[in-house]
Structure 1
Amino acid sequence: MKLNKWTKLAWVAILCSSVLTACSSDSQGTANETSTENQSTSDGTAQTTAYADQFDKTQIMSISIDAEEDAWQEMLDNPMDETYISADITINGTTIKNVGIRPKGNSSLSQVAQDDTTDRYSFKIKFDEYVKDQTWEGLDKLVVNNMIQDSSYMKEYLSYDIMSYIGVDAPLFSFANISVNGDTWGLYLAVEDIDGSFKTRAKNDEGEIYKPNNDDNGMGMPAGNPPTQGDTTADGDQQTARAPMEGMEPPYGTGFPDMYRMQGEYGENGWPQGGMGGNGGFGGMNGGGSGVSLEYTDDEISSYSAIFDNAKTKTTEEDEQRVIEALKNLSTGTELEKYVDVDAVLKYFAAHTVVVNLDSYTSNMGHNYYLYENDGKISMLPWDYNLAFGGFMSGSASDVVNLAIDTPVSGVTMEERPILSKLLEVSEYKEKYHEYLQEIVDGYFADGKFEEKVQSLNDLIAESVKADPTAFVTYDEYEEAVAELSKLGKLRAESIQGQLDGDIPATTDEQQASPDSLVDASSIDLSKLGDSMGGKGMGGGGRGFGGGQRKDQTEQSTDSSTSTSTSNNSNNSNNSTSTESK
C-alpha cells in the first residue's frame, strides 16, 4: 500500500513517541512487565480495567513481594512513617517492577506497630510511585489487608460481597496469599483502592471522590487528647497516630475517664452494657466535625475541611460548591432526587445495616466511607469492614443481632446522620430501603444460603489459614470463629425478617420498650469472632486495647509456612498472646 506524505509523517511521530517512552522508562532503571493493555489513549482519558478479571472471588490471588532486605527491614522498623520503599511485585504471575509499598492503616497500624511480636501490617501498593503512569493492568493502587481483629478472616470479604450483591459499587476484592522475598508471609484480603482506577472502572471516569475523615479528633474526642496525627501523605492518605495517649485507662490502660465514657450502664471494665442504638458514643460527641457527618452548616468551603482536604480526585472550588449545595438541600429534604443518588444510597445503607459495622458513618466515628459526587448528586461507597458483624462498640450479641433497621446508629442521633435519616423520612424511600433489606435476606441469607457461603469460603481458605505463619489467631480459633459467624449471620437475618414483618420493633426506642420480642442471641459468643473494640475492654477477651493472639510456632507447619527472616515474627515462638493497641 502506498502511503501519502501525511501518513508517513504520522507513523514517524508514533515511532518517535515510542522511543521516547522506552527511554523514559529505562532512565528510571525499570521495565514495566505488565500487559501493553495498560496504556491510555492519546488524550489520556481512556484506561484499561483489565485488572478486574484478576479479582476472582472464588480463587486465592498470589502476590509476591521482592524488596531489598535492608530497605524492607527499615520499613518494618519504622512503620508509622508510612514511607514507601521500592519493590518488584508479582501478581498472579505478572511482575511489575519498581513499585511503591508501605504499611497502611490508622489505629490498626498503631496496633501492630506497638506489638513487638508481629510485623503483620496491612500494606498499600502504589504502582506509579516511582514509574510515572505505571499500573497493574490498569490499576494504580492496591491495598492488602491483614485481617486484624477478625478471627474468621471473612468479615470484610462478606461485607463487600453483600454490597456487590445488592448493586453497590464496591471495590473489587479477593483473598491473597502473600510472600516476601520468597518466604510465606500470610493470607490477606486484596482490595482495589478507591481512587482513579476505581472511578474509571465503576464510574466511567466521571465524578469526584472524597474520603471524609476527621480522625485527628480520635473517636469524636476533643482535639489534643487522642494520639497526635501527622500531615497528609504524598498520595493523599492520612497519616496515623504517632503515640498512644498517656495517662489514659481502659481501653488504653485500665479504666476510662468519665468525660469520654459512653452513655448508659457500665460493666467492670468501664464499657457500656448494650452500647448500640444510641446508647453508645463518647459523651455525645458525634465525630461529625468539619463535614464527616454530611450535616450542612454554611456555604464556606473551609467548614467542610474533613471532606475537601481528603479529596481522592483533583477537585476545583466549583466541584466543592456542588457538594455543599447537595448537603444544603439534603438538610432540608429539598429535591432529594436532584441532589442525592437515592437508590444508590438506599442500597448502601441496606447492606451496611445488615453487616452491623459501627466503625463507620453510622456511629460517632463518622468515617470509613467514600463520598461520591457526580453532576451535583452525592452517594456513598463502602470501605473498611474488618470490624463488621459487631466488631466495634457492639455491646451484647443481642445488640448486634437485633440492631434496629430503621435507626441503625450508635452514639449519635439519626438527625446527626442526615443522608440516612432524611431519606428514611420519606415513606417511598423507606419502603424501597426495606425492599433492599428483604432482597438481601432472601438472596444471601434465607434457606441456609449464608451458612453455605461461609462454608464455601472456609473450603477456599482453610489450608491457607492453617499455613499462615503470621496469623493473629490459632487455627482452632479460626474454626471457632467461622462457626460463630455462621450462627450470627443466621440470627441477624432472622431479626431483620422479623422487623420487616412487624413482629420485632424496627427502632431502638421500641425495642427497648419490648425486649421480649427480640431474637434470642444468648448462644452467640462475640469474642470468638475476634478482638472487638468495645464490650470487652476495647480489646476483646480482657487483653487490653486490641488483644490479638499469636500462633505458637510449634503449631504451624515446619516447611514453607515460616515467615521471612527479615521480620520480627521469630518472637512468636515463645509468646502465644500479646497486648496490642488500636
Structure 2
Amino acid sequence: MLKTRYVVASIGLLIVIFVAVMFFLPNLQIDIANKGNTYTETVFDQSKVTKVDITVADDDLASILENPSEKEIVNADVTIDGETVKNVGFRTKGNLSLNSVVQMEDSDRYSWKIDFDHYQEDQDLHGLKKLALNNNYSDPTYTREYLSYTLMEKMGIATPGHSYMYVTINGKEWGLYLGVEAIEETFLDTNFSEGTGDLYYPDGTGSDLKWISDDIDDYTGINLKTNGNSDQSAMIKMLDVINNGGDLEEVLDVDEMLRYFAANTALVNLDHYQGMLKHNYYLYEENGIFSILPWDYNMSFGGFSGGGGGPAADGDKETEKGQEAANNRDVKAVDQREPTTVTEDSSPANNNDNNAKAKLPDGAPNMNGGAMMGDMSANFMDESTINFSITEPVMGTTLEDRPLLNALLSTEEYREKYYEYLNDIATDYFSEENMTAMTEKVTALITPYVEKDPTKFYTMDEYTKAISGEETLVDFATQRADSILAQLSGDLVVEAETQSSMGGAAPNMEKEKGAAMQPPNMGNDENGAPMQPPNMGDGENGVPMQPPNMKDGENGMAMQPPGMNRDMDSGGGINSSYSKETIILSSVLLLLLFGAIAFAHSFRRRGRKG
C-alpha cells in the first residue's frame, strides 16, 4: 500500500504544476488562440494565388452594378479553394477607388467585401469573419499594397492577413485581386492580448486628431467600430495628451507608433493620416493605450498625388490650408528634374471592351495635377516624392495639424528612435538586393494571372514596364533609401515639403559651392532649445552605432527591428490574457487537482480503518 508521504508529495507536485501552468499560460495565449483561427495560413496562403468563386443571384448582381456607390449588401455563396461558405453578405467597397471606377466608362472592376457572418453570426471561414477583395486600383505593378503590408509585418506592426486571389462572379472572370483581412474583432483577437478594446476608423471631422473639446460627440469622424456602449473616455484622454501636453506613454504604444510612422514615411504613403485626407488608418485602444494599424496601401510608394489639388476633406478646407501653408514657405530647388509627362499611353486601361481608356466625366475631381484620376501613380519617381521629408513628413498640410505625429516627433528621444527605424528600413528592406528578390518572387507568382485578367486597369505592356522598365518599385525604393540616409546624415537638406509631388514645387535642397550641406532645421524642442539632427555616428558612451539585429526571413533579408517581438510587445501588443481556451484548460487542471485531493482524503480514511 502507498505510504501517506508519497500521496502528499504527489498532491504537492500537482499543485506546483497547476500554479506553473497558470503562470505561463497567458504567455502561450497567441498559440492557443491561433489553433481556432487558422485563416492566416489557410485563406491567406501567400505561396499561391487563391481561387475565389462568388455566386450571387443575377438580379442582385445587376442591382449592385447599376448602383455600386450604394454598397448594397446581397446574399451570396463563396467558394475559396474549393471550400464553400453559403449565405454570406457581399457588396462593393472603397471610397476614392470606388468612385473612380464608377466614373470609368466600361469597367465594373470594383473592390468587394465579403461578410461571412452577415446573415449567420457564428459563421466564419477558418476563423475569418470578413474578407476584402482589393482591385489594385491605380497600381500598374499589382504589388504596392502587398509589399507595404510586408514591410509593416517586418516592423512588428499588427498587420491584416493578405494574399493574391483570382476572382470569378457567377462563373465570369473578374480578375486578380489582393485579398485582405478586415480589421475587426477577429483581427483584434488574433493580434492582441485581449482584443476587446475600442477600435476606431477615423475618417472625417476629428480624424486629424486635433483637439476640439472634451465632448466625444464633437468628433463625428472618429468612428468607433467596436464596443458601441463605450464612453470613449480613453480617446478623449489621448486627444488631450497629444494636443495639450502630458505623458505620451500613458496613452500611446509609443514604440509601435514610431515604427509605423517610419514605415509610412519611407513608403511615401500620403493617402493617409500624413496627407490631406487624414484617413485610411485604424486606432485601437486596449487598457487605455492606443496602437495605430495599417490599412489601404494601393497608393503607397509615392502613388498618391497628396497635397495641392483635389477636394477638401469633410468640407473643412484642409486642402486650401495646406496649399496656403505651402505657398507661404520659402521654396527653392536645385538639380530639379523635369516633371514626368503623363500621356494617354500611361493612363489606365480597362480591358472589358477593346482596352477602352478610362474617362472622367466633366467636373470630376482631378487628383493628379493634370493627369487622369486613375493614374495617380504616374509621377511616383519625381524628385519631390523620392526626397519626401523625414523631418516634416506630411503633404498638403502641416505637422502641427497632425498632432499625433507632431507630439511624437517633438520629443527628442522618440524622434531619434524614429530615425533609427528609418535607417533600418533604408539599409535593409529598401536595399536593392532585398527589393529585387521580393518583387521577382511576387511577379513570378502573379504574372500568369495578370495576363489572363480580363478587367485589369492597365495593359500588359504597361504592367511589364512597371515591373521591369526604367522606373520600377525597386528603383523607387533604392533611391528613396539613398534620400533617407542622406537626410539622416545631413548631406541632404529638405527644408519643407510643398504641394503635391504630382505638379507642385520641389523641396528646398541647397548646397553652397564648396560648403558642407547643413543638417535639417529641426525647430525647437519643448524647452525651446534647437533640435539636433539624428546622430548617425557614435552611440551611447561614444561607441559607434551598430546596425539593428536583422533576423533572416523571406529571401534571407527579412528585417526584425530590435525589441519587436510581438509576444513581448508592451502597451497593447501581445502579452498576457485569459482566452476561452485558457479558462477551459485551467478548469480541467483544477478538477484534476480537486480529484487528487479527494483521492488523498479517501486514502487517508482507508488507512485509518486499516
Q: TM-score range by the shorter chain?
A: 0.5 to 0.7
Give the percent of matched residue pairs that are identical in Structure 1 and Structure 2. Answer: 41
The answer for the alignment partner of 1:160 in structure 2 is 149
The answer for the alignment partner of 1:313 in structure 2 is 226
- 2:460 matches 1:475: yes
The answer for the alignment partner of 2:69 in structure 1 is 80
AA of the residue aligned to 1:514 = M
Q: Relative to 1, partners in 2 of residues 1:463 and 1:144: Cα closer, same or farther, differing over 3 Å?
A: same
Query: Any conservation in 2 of the 1:441–1:493 contact (CA below 8 Å)?
Result: yes
How do 1:502-517 residues align onto structure 2 when only pairs under 5 Å count?
Answer: 502-505=490-493, 507-508=495-496, 512-515=507-510
Query: Any conservation in 2 of the 1:394–1:400 contact (CA below 8 Å)?
Result: no
- 2:219 matches 1:304: yes
Q: How many Å separate the matches in 2 of 1:442 and 1:514?
A: 22
The answer for the alignment partner of 1:498 in structure 2 is 486
How do 1:24-63 residues align onto structure 2 when only pairs under 5 Å count?
Answer: 48-54=36-42, 55-63=44-52
Q: How many Å separate the matches in 2 of 1:128 and 1:331?
A: 39
Q: Relative to 1, partners in 2 of residues 1:453 and 1:291: Cα closer, same or farther, differing over 3 Å?
A: same
| Match of residue 452, structure 1, among 418, 437, 445 | 437
Q: Relative to 1, partners in 2 of residues 1:114 and 1:168: Cα closer, same or farther, differing over 3 Å?
A: same
Query: Any conservation in 1 of the 2:34–2:190 contact (CA below 8 Å)?
Result: no
Query: Any conservation in 2 of the 1:169–1:202 contact (CA below 8 Å)?
Result: yes
| Match of residue 477, structure 2, among 489, 505, 513 | 489
Runs (4+) of structure 1 moved beyond 6 Å?
Answer: none
Q: How many Å separate the matches in 1 of 2:36 and 2:132?
A: 19
The answer for the alignment partner of 2:376 in structure 1 is none
Q: Secondary structure at the match of 1:163?
A: helix
Q: Relative to 1, partners in 2 of residues 1:394 and 1:489: Cα closer, same or farther, differing over 3 Å?
A: farther
Shift of 1:159: 1.0
Q: How many Å separate the matches in 2 of 1:445 and 1:114?
A: 35
Query: Any conservation in 1 of the 2:167–2:176 contact (CA below 8 Å)?
Result: yes
Q: How many Å separate the matches in 2 of 1:454 and 1:105?
A: 26
The answer for the alignment partner of 1:391 in structure 2 is 303
Q: Secondary structure at the match of 1:187?
A: strand
Q: Relative to 1, partners in 2 of residues 1:499 and 1:328: Cα closer, same or farther, differing over 3 Å?
A: same
Q: How many Å separate the matches in 1 of 2:109 and 2:34?
A: 36
- 2:392 matches 1:407: yes
The answer for the alignment partner of 1:115 in structure 2 is 104
The answer for the alignment partner of 1:193 in structure 2 is 182
Query: Any conservation in 1 of the 2:200–2:282 contact (CA below 8 Å)?
Result: yes
AA of the residue aligned to 1:314 = N
Q: How many Å separate the matches in 1 of 2:511 and 2:77?
A: 58
Q: Relative to 1, partners in 2 of residues 1:73 and 1:516: Cα closer, same or farther, differing over 3 Å?
A: farther
Q: Relative to 1, partners in 2 of residues 1:346 and 1:514: Cα closer, same or farther, differing over 3 Å?
A: same
Deviations 1:421-448 (A, max 9, x none): 1111111111111111122222212252
Deviations 1:67-87 (A, max 9, x none): 222322222122122111111
Deviations 1:145-190 (A, max 9, x none): 0011111111111111111111111111101111122332200000
- 2:261 matches 1:353: no
Q: Relative to 1, partners in 2 of residues 1:68 and 1:446: Cα closer, same or farther, differing over 3 Å?
A: same
Query: Any conservation in 1 of the 2:257–2:292 contact (CA below 8 Å)?
Result: yes
Q: How many Å separate the matches in 1 of 2:72 and 2:510?
A: 51
Q: How many Å separate the matches in 2 of 1:126 and 1:423?
A: 36
- 2:123 matches 1:138: no
- The alignment of Structure 1 onto Structure 2 pairs a total of residues equal to 395
Q: How many Å separate the matches in 2 of 1:505 and 1:93?
A: 55
Q: How many Å separate the matches in 2 of 1:196 and 1:125?
A: 15
Query: Any conservation in 1 of the 2:140–2:457 contact (CA below 8 Å)?
Result: yes
The answer for the alignment partner of 1:441 in structure 2 is 426
Query: Any conservation in 2 of the 1:47–1:200 contact (CA below 8 Å)?
Result: no
Q: Relative to 1, partners in 2 of residues 1:125 and 1:509: Cα closer, same or farther, differing over 3 Å?
A: closer
Name which of structure 1's ranges 392-401 and 451-460 shifts more when overlaid on structure 2.
392-401
Deviations 1:433-491 (A, max 9, x none): 11111222222122521122112111111111011011001111001111322211211
Shift of 1:315: 3.4
Gaps of 5+ in 2: 1-32, 308-338, 340-381, 499-505, 513-610
Query: Any conservation in 1 of the 2:275–2:396 contact (CA below 8 Å)?
Result: yes
The answer for the alignment partner of 2:574 in structure 1 is none
The answer for the alignment partner of 2:196 in structure 1 is 206
How do 1:175-324 residues align onto structure 2 when only pairs under 5 Å count?
Answer: 175-204=164-193, 205-214=195-204, 290-307=205-222, 310-318=223-231, 320-324=232-236
Name which of structure 1's ranges 377-386 and 347-356 shifts more when overlaid on structure 2.
377-386
Q: Secondary structure at the match of 1:306?
A: coil
Q: Secondary structure at the match of 1:305?
A: coil
Shift of 1:394: 5.2
Query: Any conservation in 2 of the 1:88–1:97 contact (CA below 8 Å)?
Result: yes
Shift of 1:506: 5.2
Shift of 1:502: 2.1
Query: Any conservation in 2 of the 1:405–1:507 contact (CA below 8 Å)?
Result: no
AA of the residue aligned to 2:81 = N
| Match of residue 410, structure 2, among 425, 429, 437 | 425
Q: How many Å separate the matches in 2 of 1:129 and 1:301?
A: 29
Query: Any conservation in 1 of the 2:276–2:306 contact (CA below 8 Å)?
Result: no
Q: How many Å separate the matches in 1 of 2:122 and 2:255?
A: 35
Q: How many Å separate the matches in 2 of 1:375 and 1:368?
A: 23
Gaps of 5+ in 1: 1-44, 215-289, 518-582
Q: How many Å separate the matches in 2 of 1:105 and 1:304?
A: 22
The answer for the alignment partner of 1:233 in structure 2 is none
Q: How many Å separate the matches in 1 of 2:153 and 2:389?
A: 22
AA of the residue aligned to 1:467 = K
AA of the residue aligned to 2:211 = Y
Query: Any conservation in 2 of the 1:122–1:146 contact (CA below 8 Å)?
Result: yes
- 2:457 matches 1:462: no
Q: Relative to 1, partners in 2 of residues 1:212 and 1:394: Cα closer, same or farther, differing over 3 Å?
A: closer
How do 1:566-581 residues align onto structure 2 when only pairs under 5 Å count?
Answer: none
Q: How many Å separate the matches in 1 of 2:385 and 2:51?
A: 34
